[in-house]
A = this chain, B = another copy of it.
Amino acid sequence: MSERDWIHRYIRPLVRAEGADDLRDDVAELSTFSSTIATMDTLVEGQHFLSSDPLNTVGQKLVRVNVSDIHAKGAVPKEALLSIAWPKGRGEAEFADLMAGIAIDLREFGIDLIGGDTVSTDGPLVLTLSLTGQCLGDGPVRRAAQAPDGASLWLSGPIGGGAIGLRAAIEGGLESDLQRYRCPPTTKVMHAQAVAEAGLAAIDVSDGLLLDALSLAEINGRGVHINLERVWLYRATSDLPLIMEQATGGDDYQILMIAKDGVKIDPEAFLQIGHIKSKPGLTLSFHDEPIPLPHKLGFEHQA
């Protein structure tokens, strides 16, 4: 790997922001707004994607996991710093493929790449993206906001595609499911706008809907009820085990929002799926029937 050549060939063409000074420097000048936020996510080969995954979709996933974090706070993404720890055995064509995927999504989401670091490793591919965002409201919509009893709970899009797609990638399955796992659809500016206008508290769904809903409720000192028949599923079904698989799978990159009282919410952007309650814990129902909790609520970060 010749770091300088590859940076020149694949990374520099993506860099257009004035603050990046054509990548001739170690630092970039950030655009500053009244309220700027930042996030960072890391993807590791063998942990967050499979060694057999095409690298262009891995590049897109890297951008999308960060974009959903920014959208979930009622903000739009602006500038990115990219770190690549590149395995010595992988060749230039694969590097080009990775950067092509990243390029597509930088353009898709209007993000300026402004800098980063590219190094070699004897281990698996490790990718880190740090992303800044400009808040559409006065500041980021936080997870913790002392949400009141009865506040409504909203979901931005279908969940469960991550789990079903991963199963297809490992066991074989529909090409459309596989594609859903490799390059997850994510939220759009209209979702960020709705969060900025109506969100009291919000979180991106990444560890499973049930687990993330409980986390969101707990951090607000509350409990939460979900009406399962209202949840937008990747694979529409009334089969409870298949509903549970989708409601507890990870990697969905949608937004879960507790809404302010009395604010109209764009029905294109969000769907009401439950409400906040004063009693701690998570409860579920399906067409008014109480449903017991599954053994696992989502993906716990254990290794």
A residues neighboring B (CB under 8 Å): 1-4, 21, 24-30, 32-44, 46-48, 69-70, 72-73, 75, 79, 81-83, 85-86, 88, 114-117, 119-124, 126, 128, 130, 132-133, 139-140, 142-144, 203-204, 219, 300-303
Query: Whole-angstrom distance between the alpha carbons of A124 and B126 in the complex?
Result: 10
Query: Whole-angstrom distance between the alpha carbons of A4 and B300 in the complex?
Result: 9
A36-B30, A83-B42 as given contacts; A122 in contact with B119, CB under 8 Å = no
The oligomer's copy count stands at 2
Q: In the bound complex, do residue A139 and residue B37 qualify as a contact, i.e. CB atoms below 8 Å apart?
A: no
Interchain CB contact (< 8 A) of A48 among B28, B44, B119, B128: B119
Residues of B within 8 A of A28 (CB): 37-39
Query: Whole-angstrom distance between the alpha carbons of A267 and B245 in the complex?
Result: 67
Q: In the bound complex, do residue A121 and residue B123 qualify as a contact, i.e. CB atoms below 8 Å apart?
A: yes
Give 17 A-B pairs besides A27-B37, A83-B128 with Cβ atoms closer than 8 angstroms: A1-B302, A1-B303, A21-B142, A25-B73, A25-B143, A26-B203, A27-B75, A28-B37, A29-B140, A30-B37, A38-B130, A42-B128, A46-B122, A47-B121, A123-B126, A126-B126, A130-B130
Residues of B within 8 A of A30 (CB): 30, 36-38, 132
Q: In the bound complex, do residue A81 and residue B123 qualify as a contact, i.e. CB atoms below 8 Å apart?
A: no
Q: In the bound complex, do residue B27 and residue A70 qualify as a contact, i.e. CB atoms below 8 Å apart?
A: yes
Q: In the bound complex, do residue A81 and residue B130 qualify as a contact, i.e. CB atoms below 8 Å apart?
A: yes
Which residue of chain B has its CB nearest to the CB of A84? B42
Residues of B within 8 A of A132 (CB): 30, 38
Interchain CB contact (< 8 A) of A40 among B29, B86, B117: B117
Interchain CB contact (< 8 A) of A38 among B1, B81, B122, B126: B81
